[in-house]
Structure 1
Amino acid sequence: MWPSAETLRSIKEASESVASTRRPWRVFLDLSGFSIPSSTTEATTRLAHNLTYFLSNYCILLLLIFLLTLFRHPLSLLLFLILFAAWYFLYFARDDLPFALLPLALATLVALFATAVWLNLLLSAAVGAIVVFLHAALRTTDELVGDDQESPYGPMLGVGDSPAAGAYVPV
């Protein structure tokens, strides 16, 4: 039972869509782009911008951290790689409303508790959250290029010489 050409085409389009939102790793890991924020406001602005700008990179990083914690459990690692593939092909690669959400969620929960790796998941989520938080807070946003809609503040920020939306104007 081979997949149809339409199924393969939709998988390819979904893969390209995911890959297009991922930022280059050399930009993500560029050490010259890191500095300590001067204020809490600057840190929160960096957090908001970097979390939206590098979202795909952060998701991949969290997944890798989780998979690294499973190396001591090869059977669990194999099971979760199969589950990740199932999630991708049955949920994320489809444009229509997939009916596989509930069975996939249940299968994932059963796998977490049956393989006793839920503690690994919690540990990797905590470590991953710390890594993502530190990267997002310390990564400067000056040289990051993105259009206005990618900004965490959306169209509120002005573009070019135009004032920001909601700016004070003389009456």
Structure 2
Amino acid sequence: MSSSSEMLSNMKEAGQSIIATRRPFRECISLSAISLPSSLSEATTRISLNLTRFLFHYAILLLFALALSLVYHPFALLLFAVLLAAWNFLFFSRDAADPPVSLFGVLTLDDRIIVIGLAVFTLITVAATGVWLNVFLSFLVGAALVCFHAALRRTDEGVDDYESPYGPMLGGDSGDGAGAYTRV
């Protein structure tokens, strides 16, 4: 098998993996699941759970905001499409034999070189095209929209699949709001 067909196979597997783990779009935008959080703690818990649950949809929203900000800069839009493809080919579409790497996990030396190279190329592209302000503002607007939606969307539907990021601080099995105490 040639390397190009292997790469296409890896991209297909990565795409199928992403599609298999994403939630339905209707679930993400369900108006019946929108309500105000009762506290800041509940809002941050909602944001954390919804970011995990709807990461695919939120990433698409951020990319859409970036694309909208670059509509009047077609060359920059084309370069960012090439950058997106480069990140996908070189970092996110890994060989099936390679272990999955989280962005915050430990990267091998080869992975570090690839990430640093892509990051430098991305920064050079942003600086050379002069759209850094558009990129920055679109990222801020997109992130604000994502956090706003994630904070307003209730997480009581299927929360059994997820654990609270605060662990026992928000309530253990007894539901008393405090975790188990141990003697010092």
Q: Normalising by the residue count of structure 2, what TM-score does the alignment of the two structures yield?
A: 0.76
1:28-66: CA deviation from partner (whole Å, max 9, x where unpaired): 111111011122222222122112211222112111111
Q: C-alpha distance in 2, partners of 1:28/1:94?
A: 28
Any stretches of 5+ residues in structure 1 without a counterpart? Answer: none
- Distance in 1 (CA, whole Å) between partners of 2:147 and 2:133 is 21
- Equivalent residue letter for 1:132: V
* TM-superposed deviation, 1:81: 0.5
Task: Kindly indicate whether the alpha-carbon contact (under 8 Å) linking 2:28 and 2:54 is maintained by their aligned counterparts in 1.
Answer: yes
1:127 aligns with 2:131: no
- CA offset at residue 163 of structure 1? 6.5
2:133 is the alignment partner of 1:116: no
Structure 1 match to 2:104:
none
CA contact (8 A) 2:168 2:180 kept: no
Equivalent position to 1:153, from 148, 165, 172: 165
**2:7 alignment counterpart:** 7
Q: Partner letter of residue 74 of structure 1?
A: P
Match of 2:37, SS? coil
* CA RMSD after TM alignment: 2.6
2:45/2:165 contact within 8 Å kept: no
Question: How much has 1:145 moved relative to structure 2?
Answer: 5.3
Deviation at 1:13, TM superposition (A): 1.1
Where does structure 2 lack aligned partners over 5 or more consecutive residues? 99-107
Deviation at 1:111, TM superposition (A): 0.4
**What does residue 55 of structure 2 align with?**
55
Report the CA distance shift for 1:155/1:45 in structure 2 as closer, same or farther (over 3 A): closer
Instruction: Name the TM-score, length of structure 1 as normaliser.
Output: 0.81
Deviation (angstroms), 1:156 = 5.6
State the Cα distance separating 1:88 from its structure 2 match.
Answer: 0.3
Runs of 4 or more off by more than 3 Å in structure 1? 95-99, 152-157, 166-169
Q: Distance in 1 between matches of 2:6 and 2:174?
A: 47
Q: Could you tell me how far apart the structure 2 residues matched to 1:68 and 1:125 are?
A: 11
Give the AA of the match of 2:163: S
Per the alignment, in what secondary structure is the counterpart of residue 156 of structure 2? coil
Question: 1:100 aligns to what SS in structure 2?
Answer: helix
Task: Please state how far the C-alpha of 1:137 moved relative to its aligned partner.
Answer: 0.7
Alignment-derived partner of residue 116 in structure 2: 102
The correspondence of residues 40-79 of structure 1 with structure 2, limited to 5 A, is 40-79=40-79
- Between Structure 1 and Structure 2, how many residues are aligned? 162
Distance 1:66 1:126, change over 3 A: same
Contact residue 66 and residue 138 of structure 2 kept, 8 A: yes
Q: Any idea what SS the aligned residue of 1:4 has?
A: helix
